[in-house]
Amino acid sequence: MAGALEGIKVLDLSRVLAGPWTGQLLADLGAEVIKVERPGAGDDTRQWAPPSLPDGTAAYFLCANRGKQSVTVDITQPAGQEIVRKLAAEADVLLENYKVGGLKKYGLDYDSLKAVNPRLVYCSITGFGQTGPYAELPGYDYIVQGMSGLMSITGPADGEPHKVGVAVTDLFTGLYAANAILAALIARGRTGEGQYVDMALFDCSVATLANINMNWLIGREVPKRLGNAHANIVPYQVFRCADGHFILACGNDKQFRAVCQLIGQTALAEDERFATNPARVKHRETLVPMLAEAFLARARDEWLKDLDAAGVPCGPINTVDEAFNDPQLRHRGLEISLRDTAGQNVPLVGCPIKLSGTPVEYNQAPPKLGEHTEDVLRTLGYDAASVAALRQSGVV
Query: Among all residues, which ones are annotated catalytic?
Result: 170
DSSP for 105-157?
GGT-SHHHHHHH-TT-EEEEEESS-SSSTTTTS---HHHHHHHTTTGGGSS-T
Decide: 247 and 227 in contact? Cβ < 8 Å: no
Neighbours of 385 (CB within 10 A): 8
Report residue 244: phi and psi, to 5°.
155, -135
C-alpha to C-alpha distance for 84 and 380, rounded to whole angstroms: 10
C-alpha to C-alpha distance for 393 and 83, rounded to whole angstroms: 14
C-alpha to C-alpha distance for 369 and 45, rounded to whole angstroms: 12
Report residue 126: phi and psi, to 5°.
-135, 175
213 contacts: CB under 8 Å, gap ≥ 6: 206, 207
The radius of gyration of the chain from alpha carbons, rounded to an integer in Å, stands at: 25
Evaluated on CA atoms 16, 22, 28, 34, the torsion sign reads negative
Report residue 384: phi and psi, to 5°.
-60, -40
Decide: 164 and 225 in contact? Cβ < 8 Å: no
C-alpha to C-alpha distance for 116 and 145, rounded to whole angstroms: 37
Evaluated on CA atoms 49, 50, 56, 61, the torsion sign reads negative
Neighbours of 353 (CB within 10 A): 11
Question: Rounded to an integer, what is the distance from CA 245 to the centroid of its chain?
Answer: 27
Q: Could you tell me where the DSSP H helices lie in 200-241?
A: 201-207, 211-219
Q: Are strands 345-349 and 335-339 parallel, antiparallel or unpaired?
A: antiparallel
DSSP for 324-388?
HT-HHHHHTT-EEEEE-TTS-EEEEEPP----SSS------PPPPTTTTHHHHHHHTT--HHHHH
